[in-house]
Amino acid sequence: MWIALLIALCLWTPDIDRATLEARYLDAPADRVEVAGVRLHVRDSGPKDAPALLLIHGFGASLHTWEPWARTLAREHRVIRLDLPGSGLSEPDPTGDYTDARSVQLLLALLDQRGIERATLVGHSIGGRIAWMFAARHPERIDRLVLIAPDGFASPGEPYGQAPDVPVSMQLMRHVLPRALLRTSLAPAYADPAALSPELVTRYHDLMRAPGSREALLARLQQTVRVDPRPLLHSIQAPTLLIWGERDAMIPFANSADYLAALPHATLAALPDVGHLPHEEAPERSLVPLLDFLARPR
């Protein structure tokens, strides 16, 4: 019993207080704003009268994941990045609602708050699923759509319409999240092991230890009930770019064929020797097709 208790104490991973995290990762106090009742972390860069891009990160990430892209994109675009509720420096949603419908509601409120009528949505992984759902539900607010290894199709054998079973081992992260264990779970997302730098691991680890963050991440997983995406995808008329690493070990590159078949106006930029996070692992290479897509006449 004493050995088990000692191990538990050694692995226990407490939260980091918000003041400490903000000192490390907040650029300016003005980046903390209230949107639809949630205190969000939002960065708004580039010319305010330029075409708007709204960037939506994936599971466990934060708006910092876009940093390599944002510096270039902000030269000719208004670049808006946010931490989803309970991620990064955004506080958990006081409603306890982490469904995609709630995420779409928050994105609409953010665009309204900034006076943006139409935007290009850029979403990665779970953020990609939120982006295409937004595009299907609110086509009048979409200019273009960029999906980076988007989530949405169920894995073989998984049914649609059911809440997922979150493994007990994952639920334990509420209390146990050693840095080494997190690094091991992040590693498969990168085709190049060198791309997962110690600094990157530290940032992911720090921000997942924000108060309430781990509970919010688990709630988002537990509340995700996938529906067959094809009817919604078929309805999207916005020009769409798919960016996908051919060595994606998280959401297989083969899924790109499903999206190409379902989206009426989609093109694919395949990136050899790149994993699940092209914007982090190969930012310069992955920016080339994105900039070309954004430069095309609408």
User: Taking 90 as the threshold, does the pLDDT of residue 53 lie above it?
Assistant: yes
The amino acid that residue 62 corresponds to is S
pLDDT at 6: 34
Confidence tier at 27 by pLDDT (50, 70, 90): very high
In a domain? residue 178:
yes
Q: How far is Cα 32 from Cα 27, in angstroms, rounded to an integer? A: 10
Q: Take residue 129 and report the two structure tokens written for it.
A: 């699923």
In a domain? residue 224:
yes
pLDDT at 231: 97
User: Taking 90 as the threshold, does the pLDDT of residue 214 lie above it?
Assistant: yes
Alpha helices (H) in the chain, listed in sequence order: 2-11, 18-25, 67-73, 100-113, 126-137, 168-171, 179-186, 198-208, 213-222, 230-234, 255-262, 278-281, 283-295
In a domain? residue 14:
no
| pTM, 2 dp | 0.94
pLDDT at 8: 43
In a domain? residue 53:
yes
Q: How far is Cα 177 from Cα 15, in angstroms, rounded to an integer? A: 10
**pLDDT over 90 for what percent of the chain?**
87
Average pLDDT of the segment spanning 146-159: 91
Average pLDDT of the segment spanning 75-92: 98
Confidence tier at 138 by pLDDT (50, 70, 90): very high
pLDDT at 99: 97
Q: Which domain holds residue 210?
A: 33-154+162-295
Laid out side by side, the sheet with 240-245 consists of 32-35, 38-45, 78-82, 52-56, 119-124, 142-148, 240-245, 266-271
Q: In whole angstroms, how far apart are CA 276 and each of 51, 144, 177, 246, 263?
A: 27, 22, 22, 9, 21
In a domain? residue 4:
no
In a domain? residue 84:
yes
**pLDDT over 70 for what percent of the chain?**
96
Average pLDDT of the segment spanning 240-244: 98
In a domain? residue 261:
yes
- For 48, counting Cβ atoms within 10 Å of its Cβ (0-12 exposed, 13-18 middle, 19+ buried), the class is exposed
User: Taking 70 as the threshold, does the pLDDT of residue 3 lie above it?
Assistant: no
CATH number for position 88: 3.40.50.1820
Q: Take residue 242 and report the two structure tokens written for it.
A: 């798919």
pLDDT at 195: 96
Mean pLDDT for the chain? 94
In a domain? residue 9:
no
Q: Tokens 């931490």 sit at which residue? A: 83
Coil, strand or helix at 171: helix
Closest CA to 205 of 174, 169, 177, 173: 177
pLDDT at 154: 87
Write the pLDDT tens digit of every residue in 279-288: 999 999 999 9
pLDDT at 155: 83
The count of domains in the chain is: 1
Confidence tier at 170 by pLDDT (50, 70, 90): confident
pLDDT at 98: 97
